[in-house]
């Protein structure tokens, strides 16, 4: 088994309140990272992840609420993370949404919602974190995509477009 030591490093994980984001946040904490747990609407789930990180791994974790579709909220999320931890070493762009709707029934608002979260939000997070990482000697960005980027599926043109765009 390979062991990775990220002691003293800080990770910002978007969409960390559940699912893949939760698993990533816990793995990074297990490797020694302090973690900024981003969520958009479910503060209870995000708080559970924060508590798990602190209880299971003894690492510091903070909650950073931001709808990554909103550039000002992303700026505040990054600022709060840096104020708390001093830097961001890892940005994990995990937030994502989808729906299953054929193009003929896909309303423009749903197209925009999926693109804004999955693609524009990822750009916003990168744009704000890169200067912090450069200032502090570097960092790593991981964009979570999907096999849909290559294969797509019926009713998922908007989702596949965003994952391919990443």
**Higher pLDDT pick, 151 / 79:** 79
pLDDT digits (tens, 9 = 90+) for 131-163: 999 999 999 999 998 877 778 788 888 888 888
The residues that bridge with 34 in the sheet, in sequence order, are 10
pLDDT at 136 (0 to 100)? 96
pTM, entire model? 0.95
pLDDT at 165 (0 to 100)? 87
Terminal alpha carbon distance of the chain: 30
Would residue 71 show up in a list of annotated catalytic residues for this protein? no
The residues that bridge with 64 in the sheet, in sequence order, are 38
Query: Which candidate in 39, 71, 124, 159 is catalytic?
Result: 159
State which H helix or E strand residue 21 sits in. helix 19-30
In words, the CATH class of domain 10-165 is: alpha beta
Query: What are the structural domain ranges in the chain?
Result: 10-165
Q: What is the mean pLDDT of residues 9-21?
A: 98
User: Distance between CA atoms of 94 and 79, rounded to whole angstroms?
Assistant: 19
């Amino acid at each position: 088994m390979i062991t990775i030591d990220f002691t003293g490093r800080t990770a910002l994980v978007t969409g960390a309140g559940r699912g893949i984001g939760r698993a990533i946040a816990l793995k990074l904490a297990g490797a020694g990272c302090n973690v900024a747990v981003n969520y958009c609407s479910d503060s209870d789930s995000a708080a559970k992840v924060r508590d798990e990180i602190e209880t299971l791994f003894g690492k510091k974790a903070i909650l950073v609420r931001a709808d990554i579709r909103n550039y000002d909220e992303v700026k505040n999320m990054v600022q709060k993370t840096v104020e708390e931890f001093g830097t961001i070493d890892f940005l994990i762009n995990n937030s994502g949404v989808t729906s299953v709707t054929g193009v003929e029934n896909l309303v423009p608002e749903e197209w925009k919602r999926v693109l804004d979260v999955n693609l524009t939000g990822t750009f916003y997070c990168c744009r704000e974190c890169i200067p912090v990482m450069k200032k502090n000697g570097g960092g790593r960005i991981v964009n979570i995509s999907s096999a849909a980027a290559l294969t797509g599926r019926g009713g998922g043109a908007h989702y596949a477009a965003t994952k391919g765009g990443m």
